[in-house]
Amino acid sequence: MSRRRKLGRTCSACGTGIFDLSKTGKCQPCFLREYNSSEENIRLRGERLKEILRTDKEAYARKCETLARNRKKAHDNPFFIAKLRNWGRELKAKAMECPETEAKRIAGVVAANKRRRHAWLPAEHREQYFKMIRHGKFKAREAKRIILDQIAADVRRASHTTDASDTMSAAKDAVLGSSRLLQALQEAAR
Ligand SMILES: [Zn+2]
């Protein structure tokens, strides 16, 4: 048996038998425990590892493989996935606890909804539209139809005013548009 294999010495920390040629004078668990208790050691090890991954392409590929394998293993594990979801929920709840964040979030959602829902609504008709749907006087769908009709009539009228022969039909459109609006308003008042 070589000198290296002989357990003639004992670990200075726990007394377990160690190899005669041990450089640290400690068994492996005791040595690792001591090594890992130093932040400086951990930082140095991290830097050495980064340097290896930067310069050694094979080592880098092996590391990528290991990480991908571990990731897949973790994602196949329902327990881990549940834990991940929980972390997400906790983070969200923490953000919600802050009233400012919550108010900002709600304002953002409201603004986005308005933008999306009222993309068709020109600024000059906004006031009229919201007046119409306020207190359920009109259903939003009806108010939208009425305003779109009105806009169409306005467009026709605008294009016809340049042509004197169409003045009559422009007037008709205008009357039709406003009578429809009047009718709708009367229906709503009933
Ligand atoms: Zn030991």
Q: Is residue 100 part of a domain?
A: no
Token pair, residue 81, equals 């996935």
Q: Is residue 137 part of a domain?
A: yes
* Residues 181 and 150: beta-carbon distance below 8 Å: yes
- pTM over 0.85, yes/no: no
Ligand 1 mean position, distance from CA 106 (Å): 59
DSSP three-state, residue 17: strand
pLDDT at 163: 58
Structurally, the chain folds into a number of domains equal to 1
Q: Is residue 106 part of a domain?
A: no
Ligand 1 mean position, distance from CA 32 (Å): 10
Q: Is residue 110 part of a domain?
A: no
Ligand 1 mean position, distance from CA 15 (Å): 6
pLDDT at 167: 62
Q: What is the mean pLDDT of each run of 10 residues along the chain (190 residues)?
A: 70 90 92 94 95 96 96 92 92 82 84 84 87 86 92 85 61 69 69
pLDDT at 189: 65
Q: Is residue 131 part of a domain?
A: yes
Identify the burial level of 18 via C-beta atoms within 10 angstroms of its C-beta, where 0-12 means exposed, 13-18 middle and 19 or more buried: buried
pLDDT at 190: 62
Ligand 1 mean position, distance from CA 10 (Å): 8
Ligand 1 mean position, distance from CA 49 (Å): 26
Residues spanned by the domain of 182: 123-189
What is d(CA 106, CA 95) in angstroms, rounded to the nearest whole number? 13
